[in-house]
Amino acid sequence: MFFALAKPLIAMKKNGLDATDIRILSAVQQHGQLSKTRLAELVNLSSTPCWARLDRLKAAGYIRGYHAELALERIIDFTEVVVTVSLGSHRKAEFDRFENHIHKLDEVTDCIATGGGMDYVLKTVTPSLAAFQRLMEEMLSADLAIERYMTYIATRQVKRSQPNLAKLTAKSE
């Protein structure tokens, strides 16, 4: 169950969200699409104002979409590999070319740009290790300015979750 947050939220100042908005977003994040009645019950608000707030949050772009988390391991055998990538050049054109290419690859499920010792961390999902190797060979031959990369084969999923929105937005003591 969700409860009212007693402390002020940082998000209130930054984005104009209040504690009820955060509870609504948290409920949707945790449960996905909900009926009016169930959402209102979770956030302790009557149905009509709750649904109006949800519509406002959607219109303002706070909710990107609704997705099902599939138990992929029950559907098919696959290989998951985490790849760190460093580019040889740090010009904007190189970053843009790399990122545009990554957007076209279905096998790359996550990609974050990082600061420090590497430029990107990618998560890939392929049907086999051989398919992953073909993906990397294709990326290396695509002139993406990849200077070096390191691969880490995932052996099992230990944790997968969304950030706790209420905790994240709570003001630090």
Residue-level pLDDT, tens digit, the chain, 173 residues: 333 333 433 444 456 899 999 999 999 999 999 999 999 999 999 999 999 999 999 999 999 998 888 999 999 999 999 999 999 999 999 999 999 999 999 999 999 999 988 999 999 999 999 999 999 999 999 999 999 999 999 999 999 888 998 888 886 43
Q: What is the pLDDT of residue 168?
A: 87
CB 124, CB 108: distance < 8 Å? yes
b/e map 112-122, b = 16+ CB within 10 Å: eeeeeebbbbb
Pick the CATH number of 10-66 from 3.30.830.10, 1.25.40.10, 1.10.10.10, 3.40.630.10: 1.10.10.10
Closest CA to 121 of 133, 130, 132, 109: 109
Q: What is the pLDDT of residue 14?
A: 57
Amino acid at 135: L
Q: What is the pLDDT of residue 39?
A: 95
CB 79, CB 132: distance < 8 Å? yes
Q: What is the pLDDT of residue 127?
A: 97
Fold equal for 10-66 and 72-153: no
Instruction: Describe the strand order of the beta sheet including 146-153 as a list of residue ranges.
Output: 108-113, 120-126, 79-87, 146-153
Q: What is the pLDDT of residue 171?
A: 67
Domains of the chain by residue range:
10-66, 72-153
Class of domain 72-153: alpha beta
CB 120, CB 69: distance < 8 Å? no
